[in-house]
Amino acid sequence: MIVAQRLEETGKQLGGGAQDTIILVSGAIRAALMEDYGLEPLGLRKLRGRSEEIEVFALGEASAVDSG
């Protein structure tokens, strides 16, 4: 499965719809970044179509996002 597509779906669900999508990145992408972009940890998440949970981070203000 394509992780980026699943992260986009999850971002739409967490944000309440397409217009309020929260930009999410995986732990692997965060580790590859050379700068801190204010990513906020959302913990491990199970993405549709994947057997294992992955570490997920939100770009910017994610304090209103449920981490469960």
**Residue 33 belongs to a domain:** yes
Per-residue tokens: 48: 């549709």
Q: Is residue 66 a part of any domain in this protein?
A: no
Name the residue with higher pLDDT: 19 or 13: 13
Position 52 in a domain:
yes
Task: Classify burial at 66, counting beta carbons within 10 Å of its beta carbon; exposed 0-12, middle 13-18, buried 19 or more.
Answer: exposed
Q: How many separate domains does the chain show?
A: 1
- 64 falls in which pLDDT band (50, 70, 90)? very low
Q: Which domain holds residue 7?
A: 3-59
Better-scored residue on pLDDT, 67 or 16: 16
Q: Per the domain annotation, does 37 fall within a domain?
A: yes
What is the average pLDDT across 13-25?
A: 86
Report yes or no on 19 lying in a domain.
yes
Q: Is residue 13 part of a domain?
A: yes
Question: Does some domain include residue 64?
Answer: no
Confirm if 52 and 44 have CB atoms less than 8 A apart: no
Closest CA to 25 of 65, 59, 49, 48: 59
Residue 31 covered by a domain: yes
